């Protein structure tokens, strides 16, 4: 687990994506575009929602979004739910970036398991998915518990 944490902490795959995509991209750019993709699956992506999801200050989120708008990866639109609110959407260029990032991730995983028997790959995929789902449930539970504790202290 410690080695995995170190590799994740060093952002190995994210840095690999950056090296392949180029264009002066930063890890924070990948984080924001990926976050917009995840948010759009369930809600409108706002600068505030992006900041909350990434656990960064809203002003930092706003600066990164502005940079990504200038680069043509994101664009701002008016919310269909509340016309006073601006939302962030991914442009075709942003979708191309995500597609390339996904390809790099898949290729990296494919290279890692290339010499594994097919049964091991299938079993790993099942177990990994189960692990990630459980991890996410635990994270959500922790956030709820933390919020309850914080509200109880007020």
Tokens coding 78:
């008016």
Q: Give pLDDT tens digits for 144-154.
A: 888 887 777 76
Collapse the DSSP code of 6 into the 3-class scheme (helix H, G, I; strand E, B; otherwise coil) and give the result: helix
- Reply yes or no on whether the pLDDT at 91 is more than 90: yes
d(CA 56, CA 68): 16
Answer with the residue of higher pLDDT: 65 or 3.
65
Q: b/e map of 84-100 (b: 16 or more CB within 10 Å)?
A: eeebbebbeebeebbee
d(CA 7, CA 17): 14
For residue 39, the model assigns a pLDDT of 95
Q: Give pLDDT tens digits for 111-125.
A: 999 999 999 999 999
Q: Which CATH class is domain 2-112?
A: mainly alpha
| Residue 10 pLDDT level (bands cut at 50, 70, 90) | confident
Boundaries of every domain in the chain: 2-112, 116-154
């Amino acid at each position: 687990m410690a080695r995995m944490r170190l590799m994740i902490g060093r952002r190995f795959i994210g840095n690999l994506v950056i090296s392949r995509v180029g264009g002066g991209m930063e890890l924070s750019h990948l984080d924001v575009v990926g976050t917009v993709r995840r948010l759009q699956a369930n809600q409108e992506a706002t600068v505030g929602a992006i900041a909350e999801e990434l656990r960064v200050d809203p002003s930092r989120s706003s600066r990164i979004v502005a940079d990504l708008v200038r680069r043509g990866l994101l664009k701002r639109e008016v919310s269909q739910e509340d016309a006073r609110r601006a939302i962030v959407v991914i442009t075709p260029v942003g979708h191309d970036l995500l597609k390339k990032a996904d390809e790099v991730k898949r290729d990296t995983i494919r290279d890692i398991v290339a010499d594994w028997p097919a049964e091991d790959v299938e079993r790993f995929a099942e177990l990994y998915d189960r692990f990630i789902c459980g991890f996410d449930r635990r994270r959500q539970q922790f956030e709820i518990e933390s919020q309850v504790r914080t509200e109880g202290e007020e």
